[in-house]
Amino acid sequence: MAKIYGYVRVSTREQNEDRQLVAMEGFGVDGGNIYTDKLSGKDFQRPSYRRLLKKLKPNDVLVVKSIDRLGRDYGEILEQWRVITKEKLAAIVVIDIPLLDTRQKERDLTGTFIADLVLQILSYVAQTEREMIRQRQAEGIAAAKARGVRNGRPPLERPSMFPEVLESWERGEISARKAGRTLGVDYKTFLTWVGR
Q: Which of 11, 40, 48, 168 is catalytic?
A: 11
Tell me the angle at which helices 176-183 and 162-170 cross, rounded to the nearest 10 degrees.
170
Cβ contact 166:158 at 8 Å: no
DSSP H helices, the chain, are: 18-27, 47-55, 67-70, 74-82, 109-146, 162-170, 176-183, 187-193
Q: 87 — phi, psi (to 5°)?
A: -85, -50
48 is catalytic: no
User: What's the CA gap between 6 and 63, in Å, rounded?
Assistant: 5
Instruction: Classify 129 as helix, strand or coil.
Output: helix
CA distances from 141 to 27, 113, 138 (A): 42, 42, 5
List residues with catalytic annotation: 11
